[in-house]
Amino acid sequence: MIMPLLQGLKITFLHMFKKPVTLQYPDERPNVVPNFRGLHGLKVSHERAKCVACYLCPTVCPAKCITVEAGEDANHDKFAARYEIDMLRCIFCGYCVEACPVDALKMTQEFELASYKREDFVFVKERLLEKK
Amino acid sequence: MVNLTIDDKQVTVPKDATIFDAAKAAGIRIPILCHDKKLHPFGGCRMCLVEVEQMKGRQIPACTTPVTEGMIVRTTTDEIIKARKMVLELLLLKHPIDCPVCDAAGDCDLQNLTYEYKVNANRFQDEKFQHKIDYENPLIERDMNRCIHCGKCARICDEIVSFGAYTFMNRGIEAKIGTEFDGPLNCEFCGSCVSVCPVGALVSRPFKFKARWWSLNKVKSVCSYCGTGCQLTLGVKDNKVLTTIYDENQGFHNGQLCTRGRFGYQFVNSDKRLSTPLIRKNGTLQPASWDEALTLVSAKLVEAKNAGGKSVAGLVTPRLTNEELFLIKKLFKDGLGSDSIDHSAGYAHAALTAGAAESFGSAASPSVISDIQNADLLLVVKTDAYETHPVVGFEINLGVKRKEIDLRIISDKRGKLSKLPKAVTYVHKPGQEVALVNALAQVLLADNLQDSTATGVEGFEGLKQQLEAFAPEKIAAACGLDADTIKTLARDYAKAAKALIILPLGLGYPGHGKALAQALANLALLSGKVGKEGCGVLFLGEKNNSQGAADLGIYPTAGGADADAILAGCQSGSIKTLIVAGENPVVSYPDRKRVEAALDKVEFLVVQDLFLTETAAKAHVVLPACSFAEKSGTFTSVGRAVQQVNQAIKPVGEARSDFAILNGLLAGLTGNAPYADAAAVFAEIAATVPAYAGLTIAGLGDTGAILPVTVKPRFVAAETAAVTAESGKFALVTGSALYHCGTMSRFGEGPMHVCPEGYVELGRDDAQALNVKDGDTVAVKSASGELRLKAKVGTRMPQGVVFAPYHFDEASVNSIAVGAPVTWVSISK
Ligand code: SF4
Ligand code: SF4
Ligand code: SF4
Ligand code: SF4
Ligand code: SF4
Ligand code: FES
């Protein structure tokens, strides 16, 4: 009866002499692993988003939080005239990244997504474009 | 019948079937790329390879190989799968594989088969195609890099559309589908090639990049342009009609559409649509609430009703559904006590409501569309039958080319139909149709070629007497055809075992009225060619529900005023309230000046329409109505086919369907409860209109129903109207342009891209004499006015005759034409 209790206390005491696992966030920053699935980023190449508005990510998205509208540019090519992700609905499954046929989408290590207003959770194309 | 075994299944098929057909009958799917059930077998892609035991396991194409007795076929052996994979690898070799930006993705046969056969690597290597993409026209984009050389586009354009815009050019790996001199595509833009292209080589530009195929909601409906009544599938997303989708199993036409049906849908979501009711206040139309607008209209109607109903009249478009037409007729009859209601200017339906009604005993064609292909001889009145009803035109093309139907056309000009193999066009002087048809009938009598049944028909003796004046010799000179030609035509018609007469109707054809219908009916009855397969007279009503409007009595049936009298009544002040539902008389009725004066004069004008048309701009109250995509109901089209229209989107803005508007007004006036829905009204139609007896809206299903008709024949002498030629002037004939139907197509981007404005078409000789070149602006002057129109110079028009389409507001041809079959005009630069 008393043995399990002592066993537990032993672990507690041992931890008193180890490095703490918690972080003093936000003074201390976590070390986010590279394959963490945080905020999306639209990759840029040749000064423009790589996304060709193929509509595969909105199709595959189980939370239906991606809105794409294709446009036709001066060369008659397809581009995403509108690209939005509603982060309030996103479940960070990463299917969109997997579906993208042109490797235009990634998920960054960005996890601080809190906001004061609902509208601010809708990330439009400009906000998603990869920062240099 | 032939018996064979496919993949161990026993199949029995007709002896002209191919292995592909047999497999399909047995429910076995053989992959295809270049085969189409509507086209002649081609055998170009080798995707459909199968093995036949009797041929020692050799691989042969299923789509071109006819079945033989006892054949044992295997459709999927390892060898075949290997061969099919190879076919795909070779097709993908020079293919761009840019599915992410290709509109065909998701509905692409090449993509689907590549996935199915798991072709994920290619043993071969080559450069990709580097063809220039054709972006020149606004409707069809041609990217020959994606083409797999199935030849379907070239074949459909030749075999069915009979235009022949494409052909294969160059050899071997250089081969591609080319246009005339490899230039930009310039054709009818019917979109048939786009619909059959199995890949993304031909795409619809108005729909380009708008949405993915799989995200579209597909709603079956019926085209709302002409009377052919083509079934179509609307592609809908986010309450917008984005495209029309091809479904080869729809309708008698196998999903084929003309340029209006295929590319003219944009009017539904046009930003010019009216979104709120408008009421005229201090001289201008201002937005108002529905309550305010309807209260005002109801008050006026109650006033009119209390005054006895004589002072209220209606002009109704035959584009409304049967249910809406029923409601408006009921509103006038029971609600207001008025019989002054009409459509299509009164004359564009007279061929049915007066002509057919007297001669055949009911206001409907005794023939149906399938009679076209079952006939031995077709007698078409005016080459314009192609322009007014293009998909009926496809049926004629097919009949002439596949079944060698003898095509005879009596017309005041030449046209596309004239170019069909062995077609004979009898070009007569404008306005002489009735005389010419009477002469044909006279020849039958003179030669004793009449059918034995004819003599017993009421009115035979009278007709015989009347026709004496129409002996070919007597009318030849006036008709501009020689007597022998007329006689040969009459004899050929009489001798054909099965012969069908086709008569297009419409606002552009004032001459195609009661008299012409009766002359044709006499001809058909005399030769005993009514009530049999492949025979009779097929009236092509102009609008999507012209036949419905005739069935439901949208014309004065108890001595009320017709369209002409209604306008006169507005002018004189005897008609004080006019309801215009969807019609646009200012542009489409003859004599624009008179129509405008009448509408300006009428005390209270209510217009229900989708757009602020030229007519609506004159109204006191404008009610925003719904397009066919926003409502459910039925249309009755050419050949008495009743078909279902299904609501695809919610009403645009605050618009309400004519059904809702009329239902409310009717309930208000009669004090009865409003109808629950279209089905309830259809039930009442079925109970009161004999032809619809026993039908229910649900029972119509996807295919629709053909209304029954009983012919009670009667000979009625067809009166000719004198045409007095004015020397030195041109005979102006009006009509429809291929890309337009009525005035609604002006709000579709597609038709407006190809044919944006009115024109006057002249023959080469006349143009030369006037020193006019194609594209010049000319002044066209008649007794009633003058217009400046662009000249179109071609080979269609005979000397002294010019043609102008009627659909347009600017330079609307009704400002010079006043409703006579021929208008005499002078033309100068
Ligand atoms: S899957 Fe990729 S290319 Fe396609 S829409 Fe999404 S981000 Fe753009
Ligand atoms: S044609 Fe088919 S296979 Fe070719 S790019 Fe388009 S979708 Fe892909
Ligand atoms: S749009 Fe019609 S007419 Fe033009 S090329 Fe295609 S099939 Fe032929
Ligand atoms: S354009 Fe399309 S329909 Fe025409 S041959 Fe090429 S793949 Fe076939
Ligand atoms: S033929 Fe008439 S009904 Fe058919 S698609 Fe063309 S306009 Fe529509
Ligand atoms: S489908 Fe048979 S060869 Fe193309």
Query: Which of A51, A55, A100 is the best mutation test for B, with the most CBs of B within 10 A?
Result: A55
Does any ligand 5 atom lie closer than 6 A to the CB of residue B393?
no
Ligand 6 pocket, residues with Cβ under 6 angstroms? B 32-35, 43-48, 61, 63
Would you kindly state where each structural domain of chain B is located, as residue ranges?
Answer: 2-76, 127-267, 278-348+548-706, 370-383+393-530, 730-828
CA distance B647 to B629: 5
Q: What share of chain B is helix, strand, coil (3-state, %, to 5)?
A: 35, 20, 45
A100 Cα nearest atom in ligand 1: 1
Are residues A56 and B100, on separate chains, in Cβ contact within 8 Å? yes
The alpha-helical segments, DSSP class H, found in B403-509 are 433-446, 460-467, 472-479, 483-495
| Distance between B354 CA and the closest CA of chain A, angstroms | 53
The alpha-helical segments, DSSP class H, found in A17-76 are 56-60
Consecutive H or E run containing B600? helix B592-601
CATH class name, domain B730-828: mainly beta
Does any ligand 4 atom lie closer than 6 A to the CB of residue B104?
no
Q: What ligand is nearest to the CA atom of residue A82?
A: 1
Query: Which residue has a Cα nearest atom 4 of ligand 4?
Result: B153
Are residues A52 and B99, on separate chains, in Cβ contact within 8 Å? no
Does any ligand 1 atom lie closer than 6 A to the CB of residue A68?
yes
CA distance B291 to B162: 53
| Distance between A70 CA and the closest CA of chain B, angstroms | 6
What is the arithmetic mean of pLDDT over B101-125?
Answer: 95
CATH code of the domain made up of B278-348+548-706:
3.40.50.740
Q: Model ipTM?
A: 0.86
Q: What is the pLDDT of residue B60?
A: 95
What is the arithmetic mean of pLDDT over B191-198?
Answer: 96
Does any ligand 4 atom lie closer than 6 A to the CB of residue B177?
yes
Residue in A59, A70, A102 nearest the CB of B214: A59
CATH code of the domain made up of B2-76:
3.10.20.740
Calculate the alpha carbon distances from B88 to B46, B51, B345, B402 in Å. 10, 18, 58, 33
Does any ligand 5 atom lie closer than 6 A to the CB of residue B229?
yes
Q: What is the pLDDT of residue A132?
A: 65
Q: What is the pLDDT of residue B118?
A: 96
Q: For strands B641-645 and B785-794, give the pairing.
A: unpaired
On whether the A33-128 domain is CATH 3.30.70.3270, my answer is yes
Tokens for B391?
Answer: 């998909």
pLDDT score of B470 more than 80:
yes
B62 Cα nearest atom in ligand 6: 2
pLDDT digit string, tens, across residues B648-693: 999 999 999 999 999 999 999 998 999 999 999 999 999 999 999 9
Does any ligand 2 atom lie closer than 6 A to the CB of residue B807?
no
User: Coil, strand, or helix at residue B406?
Assistant: strand
Ligand 3 pocket, residues with Cβ under 6 angstroms? B 140, 156-157, 161, 163, 165-166, 187-193
Residue among B324, B313, B787 nearest B585 (CA): B313
Pick the CATH number of B127-267 from 3.30.70.580, 3.40.50.2000, 3.30.70.20, 1.10.150.130: 3.30.70.20
| Span from the CA of A43 to the centroid of ligand 4 (angstroms) | 35
CATH code of the domain made up of B370-383+393-530:
3.40.228.10
What is the arithmetic mean of pLDDT over B477-501?
Answer: 95
Sign, Cα dihedral of B356, B360, B362, B366: negative
Peptide bond into B651 cis (omega under 30): no
Say if B210 is an interface residue toward chain A (CB within 8 Å): yes
What is the arithmetic mean of pLDDT over B520-537?
Answer: 95
| Span from the CA of B394 to the centroid of ligand 4 (angstroms) | 20
pLDDT digit string, tens, across residues B33-77: 999 999 999 999 999 999 999 988 789 999 999 999 999 999 999
For a pocket test of ligand 1, which of A42, A45, A56, A65 has the largest count of ligand atoms closer than 8 A to its C-beta? A56
The rounded mean pLDDT for chain B is 94
pTM: 0.93
Residue owning tokens 């035509």: B489
Does any ligand 4 atom lie closer than 6 A to the CB of residue B199?
yes
